[in-house]
Structure 1
């Protein structure tokens, strides 16, 4: 197995771990615990399933660590295709990581709010519930900012996939279209208060999901050709 094929499988493995931990921490656990219209029920859910909530935090932490490593491995894979785009891909991806880590601290704040600390007796149950919901809002606001970069990094990544010659071009197209969809979703949520009620909001990030999961599985299962063809713009800097 050549070094590029090994790199491809490593990238696929890291991407797979990002996807699995991301789905668990960003989608599954919140769907089980958070009821935005009912703070009391949300607090009770977190208290009764504290181990699940803690596992969500750990899963999120691992997700961001894997995502920090992923672009560096992808850089090794694509740098001969176009070094400038490969560097841009890494920079845009890595920028999102500290934002995500900072957002995760709001989940730790929730654990503090629901602890048995003596100073919390100064707050009524309703005030605790409000603080918990505020912490959840702050967490989601941080993720919203990170989402802009989750989208932006996909464009140079998709371009490199498209030009590589060792990965299917359609995956590159989905990644580039998905990049635009991610950013439009971010802009829509910032600019329009009722954006989530629009039918478009449920579908706009689907191309990104297809591109990312498809690329992840292709790298993990199929890998790449042992000999990497160098694209016409390989000498670009």
Structure 2
């Protein structure tokens, strides 16, 4: 179990950094909202970076499979049902998000048709909205496991609950009220709860590791 936690302390920051690069930085560089021509020109002018972004997105989702499997391994003794639920939600989210990378590749084959490029981008965005639902759902059983296992302070478990609410609210707003920026901004703030968990996991570590160090 201790070795698994140590592996997770390495994988978590790698996952977070690559994920932020793929899901936040790359779209900010290439996508110009409601401007297919500018978006297409951005891709043409820096195609290598765009392709690196696709690879980063794929790696992010692959880690989103590996990390929950490792978490299941350490938490299944705490509560097998919640651990299985956590794993199931993550394994549903990963292929949905991975499917979005197909549209990224399709963009590269239609650069002479800006409207089609933007259409592919929108399809990818919709796939990520669907994945966001499960990115939220998996944090609820993970939060319960964090609290029940006593590996983390209780507050960390509630931060995971807040993150789950944030992802679900974000998805709901994008589906039902796509123009309600204020609600979307609130949901984005709540997702920081997951970041707090990751930072605590990596910097402070689960109590089982700290107890070993003290001994």
Give TM-score scaled by structure 1 length.
0.84
Residue 227 of structure 1 deviates from its aligned partner by: 7.8
Quote the Cα distance in structure 2 between the aligned partners of 1:89 and 1:193.
28
Aligned to 2:72: 75
Q: Contact 2:169–2:184 (CA<8 Å) still a contact in 1? A: no
Query: How do 1:163-182 and structure 2 match up within 5 A?
Result: 163-182=148-167
User: Unmatched 5+ residue regions in structure 1?
Assistant: 115-124, 229-237
Quote the Cα distance in structure 1 between the aligned partners of 2:170 and 2:190.
12
Quote the Cα distance in structure 1 between the aligned partners of 2:175 and 2:200.
34
Match status 1:11 vs 2:8? yes
Query: How do 1:56-135 and structure 2 match up within 5 A?
Result: 56-114=53-111, 128-135=113-120
Aligned to 2:186: 203
Q: Contact 2:136–2:166 (CA<8 Å) still a contact in 1? A: yes
- After superposing the two structures, state which structure 1 stretch, 155-164 or 51-60, moved more: 155-164
Aligned to 2:33: 36
Larger C-alpha radius of gyration, 1 or 2? 1
User: Unmatched 5+ residue regions in structure 2?
Assistant: 211-215
Quote the Cα distance in structure 1 between the aligned partners of 2:178 and 2:186.
18
Q: Contact 1:85–1:156 (CA<8 Å) still a contact in 2? A: yes
Q: Kindly provide the CA deviation profile for residues 73-96 of structure 1, in whole angstroms up to 9, marking residues without a partner as x.
A: 001121121111001000001101
Quote the Cα distance in structure 2 between the aligned partners of 1:202 and 1:159.
26
Quote the Cα distance in structure 2 between the aligned partners of 1:7 and 1:193.
40
Residue 170 of structure 1 deviates from its aligned partner by: 1.1
Say which SS state the counterpart of residue 30 (structure 1) adopts.
Answer: helix
Residue 51 of structure 1 deviates from its aligned partner by: 0.7
| Aligned with residue 153 of structure 1, among 115, 122, 138 | 138
Q: Contact 2:165–2:190 (CA<8 Å) still a contact in 1? A: no
| Aligned with residue 45 of structure 1, among 18, 23, 42 | 42
Higher RCO (Cα < 8 Å, 6 or more apart): 1
Quote the Cα distance in structure 1 between the aligned partners of 2:58 and 2:202.
22
After superposition, the CA RMSD in angstroms is: 1.8
Q: Contact 2:30–2:39 (CA<8 Å) still a contact in 1? A: yes
Give TM-score scaled by structure 2 length.
0.92
Residue 178 of structure 1 deviates from its aligned partner by: 1.7
Q: Contact 1:99–1:143 (CA<8 Å) still a contact in 2? A: yes
Count residues with an aligned counterpart.
211
Aligned to 1:141: 126
Q: Contact 1:64–1:100 (CA<8 Å) still a contact in 2? A: yes
